[in-house]
Chain A
Amino acid sequence: MTLSSTRGLVRVSKNPDCHLQAAMALERVREPEFYRSVTGTEYPGEYGERVSARRRGAKFEASLRQNNAAGLRQVLGPLFGWDLDSMAVRDFGEEVPGPPTTMRTLRLTRTRRILGDLAAGREVPQLLIQPQLALPTGSGPRQLEFVSPDFMVLDSAAGIYVPGEEKSFILRDNVAEPGDLDLTRRQAGAQILALRAESRLVGLADRVANRAVFVMATPYGMKPAPPVVEQLDAAVYEIERAVATIATVREELAMLRSTGDAPLEFLVDEIPTHLQEECHRTCILAAYCEARQADSAVVLGDGAADLLGADMRLDRVRALLQGAPPATAEERELVARLTVAGRALGLEPDDLVRELA
């Protein structure tokens, strides 16, 4: 799997201060290979989507899209002001199945034609499946990311498409796990920005709101739960930050390579990183970054990094608690706060000294 397109943008949005991750997304690295290039060893953990997850996702999508997308029409039609039986559907998965090298641009062409039709007041389909959009990430013609919503549905009131995602994870009592939703919202944030960029080409950008629709599963087979329309200002903002980071990192890489081409793995030490707890869940290089900052506050988590400073060495913290003179006003305050905190753990200052001996 590569860190390309929406996947890369979403990853960068979760940690925009990590330029290495942005560089990996920009260069569309294949993560396990990149790990091997950087560390010299195979990635020891589990990587990639499991067969059962892929299968469930594919089954859920197929069940919604079969029979002229009956499943999708049934849940989306009433929500967006359409008689579900008269919704016209175009499925780009059936129109332009592949190969991957040309599929995206061909789908993008067709999507753009439909947006052009919409702007010109011509008849357009109410439901587009696997449309293709492009989100500019810089000013150059190749500086873009392809973004593909699972579908877009035409909002009859707003006169514009709303991007949507089909997610096979399970809603229980109409509630999803927060972690599942966070990624989905960020994906949708990228789709909203891409749709706005495409709509700008035909003068319809103003109609694109920061909202998306999600169709998720219930605990009962492949039946969809009632769709959820969400306002996604925060997600859009996060993706905008990610795009800005990518633009910055593009320039950084150009500068680093100004004296000679070097593969990204050779530049890793020169690119700023920003380890945070979430990295352990999402980034293949988390353990590598952590090892480079061993015995600093960041290994104890985001809370500790915020309190002590990410680069604060733990042996310095221990020394301060054992009575070493603080070198700055911040260190003096830190000692005071940690001493008070010690009492909350049932430890007086002498106890702390003893525990840290």
Chain B
Amino acid sequence: MDSTEDLTDTVEGLKAQREELLRAREQIEMVLTRIDTQLDQLAPPAPAEEHGEPSSPARSRPRPLRLMVLDGLDDLGWMTFSRQMMLYLRARYGRDVSPTRFSSLAKDEIAAFTSKRPRSVYLCHGLVHDRGEAVKRLWGRSDWPLEQRVVAPTTGRIQHLKLTERLCEIARTAGDTAADSEMLRFLAADHAKDLPGVKARRGVFELERWQDIALELLEELEPRDRERREEAAERLARLPEEQQLFGVPEGPLFPLPTPGRAAGGRPS
């Protein structure tokens, strides 16, 4: 069989190619941003500023994704899933991020940690309370206490309530500073619709009411969840730092049967 034909003619092959290209582009952007930063540090002041004119915008390189995610987590104040973060960044900062970028983000963070390139803060994963397994699409900041990065059985609900409360607050107060304030409201509504007693109605954004409901429920439920997370954090604190950030290592139990190979057969 012709391998060019096989790969490039299948949808799976095209998707894989696209992912690779997106990863490569992001890597190049990060490198260029670092170069720009260094050049900016070395460059003389722009002449326009001497005449009192506003400086022209710096070369428009997007802010590195990891920094945007860290900012987003700071805004939201709680562990956030990749999909939620994607939508938040788009609505709040006008930044479009493809879902596949998050998997390369995780690899980059682990690589940065293990290479001992010091960073003041890392992106890290939520950890399942009992065994420290990573929840790889749930993001936190390394400068949060460990108990804030643990996922206890009750934390799923808390996470929903926290995000709902924060999104309602941001949607209410961001005003013109949001890239897409309408999308922010929809995002808040999408979270609030599953609050008890909330019936979603098209075009109606009861942000304050939803926020109040979320806060009331958090007041009732968070203490017990915090207790469980703190208990779990005590145990997980004995793990090496890397595992406290990125989860305990897991290996496959056994090798997978690979496509096209049966016992004793040739791959097709």
Interface of A with B (CB < 8 Å)? 2, 4, 26-30, 33-34, 37, 48, 66-71, 85-86, 88-90, 93-99, 101-102, 104-106, 108-110, 113, 117, 123, 125, 138, 140-144, 250, 253-254, 257, 261-265
Contacts and interface: CB of A to CB of B under 8 A. Distances in A.
A94 B125 CA distance: 11
A142 B257 contact: yes
Nearest to A112: B253
Given A27-B268, A88-B156, A105-B256, A94 B263 contact: no
5 contacts: A88-B154, A97-B137, A102-B256, A104-B256, A125-B153
A250 B262 contact: yes
A105 B254 contact: yes
Given A68-B157, A89-B156, A27 B260 contact: yes
Contacts of A34: 268
B264 A257 contact: yes
Interface of B: 1, 6, 10-11, 81, 103, 128, 130-131, 133-138, 153-154, 156-157, 159-160, 190-191, 193-194, 196, 250, 252-257, 259-266, 268
Ranked nearest first, the 6 interchain pairs of A and B with the lowest CB-CB distance are: A88-B153, A105-B252, A70-B194, A68-B156, A67-B194, A94-B137
B136 A96 contact: yes
Contacts of A138: 263
Nearest to A32: B10
Contacts of A104: 256
Nearest to B138: A94
Contacts of A33: 1, 6, 268
Interface centre among A4, A90, A94, A261 (most CB of B within 10 A): A94
Given A67-B160, A95-B128, A102 B252 contact: yes
Contacts of A250: 262-263
B196 A263 contact: no
Nearest to B134: A95
Nearest to A67: B194
Contacts of B262: 26-27, 250, 253
B263 A109 contact: no
B133 A253 contact: no
Given A106-B252, A108-B253, A28 B259 contact: yes
A271 to B, nearest CB: 13
Contacts, number: 111
A70 B156 CA distance: 10
Nearest to B266: A261
Contacts of A68: 156-157, 159-160, 194
Contacts of A27: 260-262, 265, 268
Contacts of B256: 101-102, 104-105
A95 B133 CA distance: 8
A71 to B, nearest CB: 8
Contacts of B134: 95
B130 to A, nearest CB: 8
Contact of B253 (A85, A95, A105, A263): A105
Given A29-B260, A264-B268, 13 more contacts: A30-B268, A33-B1, A67-B194, A68-B159, A68-B160, A68-B194, A89-B156, A94-B137, A101-B256, A105-B256, A109-B250, A138-B263, A142-B254
B91 to A, nearest CB: 16
A81 B243 CA distance: 36
B263 A254 contact: yes
Interface centre among B191, B254, B255, B263 (most CB of A within 10 A): B263
B268 A29 contact: yes
B263 A143 contact: yes
Nearest to A145: B257
B1 A37 contact: yes
A89 B260 CA distance: 35
Contacts of A90: 128
Contact of A263 (B157, B159, B194, B266): B266
A85 B263 contact: no
Contacts of B160: 67-68, 70
Given A66-B190, A95-B136, A253 B252 contact: no
A48 B130 CA distance: 41
